[in-house]
Chains A and B, each alone.
Chain A
Amino acid sequence: MGKQEEWGFKENHELHAAAGFTIRNILESIIGNIDQKRSGKPMIHLGHGDPSIYPCFRTSVSVEDALVESIRSANFNCYPSGIGIDPARSALAEYLSKDLPYNITNDDVFLTAGANGIEVLLTVLARPGANILFPRPNYPIYEARARFSEIEVRHFDLLPDKGWEVDLDGVKALADKNTVGIVVINPGNPCGNVFTFDHMKKIAETARELGILVIADEVYAHLVFGEKPFVPMGVLGDMAPVLTLGSLSKRWIVPGWRFGWIAINDPTRILQQTGVVASIKSCLTISADPPTVIQGAIPSVIKNTPKSFFLNINKLLKEASDLFYEKVKEIPLVTCPHRPEGSMFAMVKLNMPAFEDVVDDTDFCMKMAKEESVVVLPGDVVGLKNWVRVSIGTEPKVLEDAIGRMKVFCLKHAKH
């Protein structure tokens, strides 16, 4: 193809490799396989954690009011400032301090454009020869961004028969003097688990022993509806430095706002002294920011969202979780080993040998989309092949319908 040589530009191959396998593009292929005419059923999307389309999950009107006020004030049309405007940072510092044994200030909170926080932390911590520890299964943006930042990734297991706890022996075996940190997601995505305080303490002790920091992804903070309360990792920040990632997306059901933060939970100031905090600030100066217009709404969002809104969301999730866990027991060929107790997801194991003509989890998802118009995420995308991740953040009737269709699908494809 002579034409190719005429032009000097070509695609960035590393980028393609890094971004090839994301939740977004896998879901796009699966949704693309839906054949509504054939199934005669409307699509049920249980592939991502976004219940905002269901009226029962609609965000609090006080949240909408806060944003409208921010816009009408015309005070927040200006450039965002890298680490975020003071009122928003202060409001978040106060909000987060409520659950900590020490106070954090606005100097400890940096605003991010949602998952941008992950990009920032990995960019800051990457250096030639360094490695970072990720859970398996994981939220795959971590892997994508790590590949891109050229930091080596090592995976430790989450143990399904132990409520998806961290395999701490595995962590210790993986770490070496070039390990910079460990990522833990609590409440868990994709597993839907919540760590006990005891377990979190062991994680912090291990981090300290290994000389690494903890990246605590708490994007699903407070979205807990089982027996275990949510405890922020920052409570243990004096044991090992903790960088906490948080977001408005899940607790306030506004994932489309793309608004999050990085909180420094490090009372002994190690991250400050080693210059990591300064590097975070520098990285934020260069990366894209959350719109100022949203930052302007934050104090009001934090202050005015009624507790009843949060209680209601957790109630809906608990109902969904109970419904899901019980009904899945009736579906042959799949098992859900751990009742979801936090976040919006459940991991379901597929009994592949018992299927007639379904070869793996991706095949399962593609075929189920086509035949039943139900979308779930292949576990391969999150690091566990032959499992699927199901979002339970759905209206109960819809969830029931989806589980019913999944049962139909499994019965149809079972070996006889």
Chain B
Amino acid sequence: MEMENNGSPLTKKWGFRANPDLNMASDNTVRGVLYMLLSKLNRSDTRPVIPLGHGDPSAFPCFRTTQVAEDAMVDSIRSAKFNGYGPTVGILPARSAVAEYLSQDLPNKLSPDDVFLTLGCKQAIQTIVTVLTNPKANILLPKPGFPYYEAIAKSCNLEVRHFDLLPEKDWEVDLDSVNALADENTVAMVIINPGNPCGNVFTHQHLKKVAETAKKLGILIISDEVYAHLVFGKNPFVPMAVFASIAPIITLGSISKRWIVPGWCLGWLVINDPNGILKEHGIIDCITAYLNISSDTPTFIQGAIPDILSKTKEDFFVKIVSIVKEAANICYEGIKDIPGVICPTKPEGSMFVMVKLDLSVFEDIKDDVEFCVKLAQEESILILPGISVGLNNWLRVTFAIELSALEEGIKRLNAFCVRHSKKP
């Protein structure tokens, strides 16, 4: 029995207790929800589980990272130069390499001092949310979004307000809702581009409007670009930092998605602020302070970064993007024929797409959670219910998996929906 028992002899005797807030916070993360669905799988189903719930194709051979990256890691380890502690902000060669890599897409060159290395993008998120926390402050998060932001904000007691992404406008930011939500205590807004969970890619024009809105409201922009360059539709990837002269931009990124190595946990938090506003407001010092009391990315992984970033060949990226593009296509086209699920926009970036449920089609399914639980139980497919990303009765579908597995998944999804449809 894991629940605390108030007034029982046990609680009286010991001074320590559980922390129920933590349990609640973790259950609502993507990881937490997927664990729940995993527990629903039917063990006697011998078919392979089709993972359409998380953003991690690394298990599939066609998505294996480039040999260049593996070699860089091995070289770093064998050099024995990187077994010790590094500076809290990251070792200089790695920071320089990230600065150079990101500067390729920017009008102004980044300095290594603008780059902070973090233990995956997760720690980058933890860092910036914690740094911006103050009593009375609030942060604007997109809905639908990436629930880790909500979890961290909650653990910091930072108030969250949600603005909408508009499905009828390719999931653009509803700038009117941003304007309505912000007040003098608003510190920042988060955008995720390419979009998780929507699979959209913002246009240059739209990003400029977002920057102008931020400036008007006196807030900074946290641009989560963990899926940078994973674009395959009509809109090119435009880094938010292009607009850094309008409003301060903090870019979050990592090698996890572009190199398909989420298990290496190397991320970054980059300051794009030519006007020095963040520095003036003590934000930079505060970032360093947080990293000072937190763990770091292992030094040997940092040691591999210069080679990983400079030596990876273009054709590795082209290959990955083309597989993901084809997967997006298979997913989009396949869903068109499935009763009860509607994909309003063709995905053009990241690894995900939002799919709407038409519950009126189904006999015995009342919401997205029930849909996903039954789907796991009956068809051994894992899909994330939209409630976990902020849109009830939608689904977040991951299409970036091996293509034959995806096709099998679409087939089983169809069988499920047909089976549960109301009979005419």
Chain A residues in the interface with B (C-beta under 8 A): 3-4, 6-13, 15-16, 18-20, 22, 24-25, 48, 50, 52-53, 58-59, 64, 67-68, 71-72, 74, 76-82, 112-116, 119, 123-127, 130, 141, 144-145, 148, 177-181, 210-213, 241, 253-259, 270, 272-279, 281-283, 285-294
Contacts and interface: CB of A to CB of B under 8 A. Distances in A.
A315 to B, nearest CB: 20
Contacts of A241: 14
22 contacts: A8-B184, A9-B188, A10-B281, A10-B282, A13-B134, A16-B289, A67-B77, A76-B263, A78-B58, A78-B262, A124-B18, A127-B19, A141-B293, A256-B86, A257-B298, A258-B119, A270-B10, A273-B2, A282-B23, A282-B26, A286-B151, A289-B119
Contact of B264 (A6, A256, A287, A291): A291
Task: Using C-beta atoms within 8 Å of the partner chain, give the interface range for chain B.
Answer: 35 or more
A50 B65 contact: no
A113 B85 CA distance: 13
Interface string B309-321: 0000000000000
Contacts, number: 274
B263 A79 contact: yes
B258 interface: no
B280 A3 contact: yes
B120 A12 contact: no
B295 A279 contact: no
A78 B74 contact: no
Interface stretch (B214-222, B378-386, B390-398, B416-424): B214-222
A270 B86 contact: no
B91 to A, nearest CB: 10
B83 A257 contact: yes
Nearest to B133: A12
Nearest to A76: B263
B298 A256 contact: yes
A8 B285 contact: no
Given A20-B289, A274-B10, A282-B23, A68 B15 contact: no
B15 A211 contact: yes
Interface in B274-307: 277, 280-283, 285-286, 289-290, 292-301
Task: Select the residue from A71, A81, A281 with max chain B CB neighbours within 10 A.
Answer: A71
B300 A257 contact: yes
A286 B295 contact: no
Contacts of B217: 8
B148 to A, nearest CB: 8
B263 A274 contact: no
A177 B15 contact: yes
A10 B23 CA distance: 30
B29 interface: yes
Contacts of A255: 83-85
Contacts of A13: 134
B62 to A, nearest CB: 12
A7 B218 contact: yes
Given A124-B22, A213-B14, A258 B296 contact: yes
A286 B22 contact: yes
Contacts of A6: 218
Nearest to B151: A286
Given A10-B281, A258-B298, A279-B18, A288 B187 contact: no
A148 B294 CA distance: 12
B185 interface: yes
A15 B29 contact: no
A85 B158 CA distance: 32
A24 B219 CA distance: 31
Nearest 4 Cβ contacts at the A-B interface: A275-B18, A292-B263, A256-B299, A11-B282
Contacts of B86: 256
Contact of A68 (B31, B74, B187): B74
A212 B13 CA distance: 9
B228 interface: no
A258 B4 contact: no
A180 B130 CA distance: 25
B328 interface: no
Given A77-B264, A144-B293, 6 more contacts: A9-B219, A10-B187, A64-B77, A79-B263, A273-B10, A275-B2
B152 interface: yes
A50 B84 contact: yes
Nearest to B126: A288
B295 A213 contact: no
A82 B35 CA distance: 11
A115 B31 contact: no
A53 B84 contact: yes
A196 to B, nearest CB: 26
Contacts of A114: 295-296
B122 interface: yes
Nearest to B259: A77
A406 B283 CA distance: 39
B132 interface: yes
A270 B17 CA distance: 10
B180 interface: no
A79 B54 contact: yes
B169 interface: no
A380 B16 CA distance: 30
B109 interface: no
Task: Select the residue from A10, A50, A58 with max chain B CB neighbours within 10 A.
Answer: A10
Contacts of B133: 12, 15
Contacts of B2: 272-273, 275, 277-278
Contacts of B1: 273
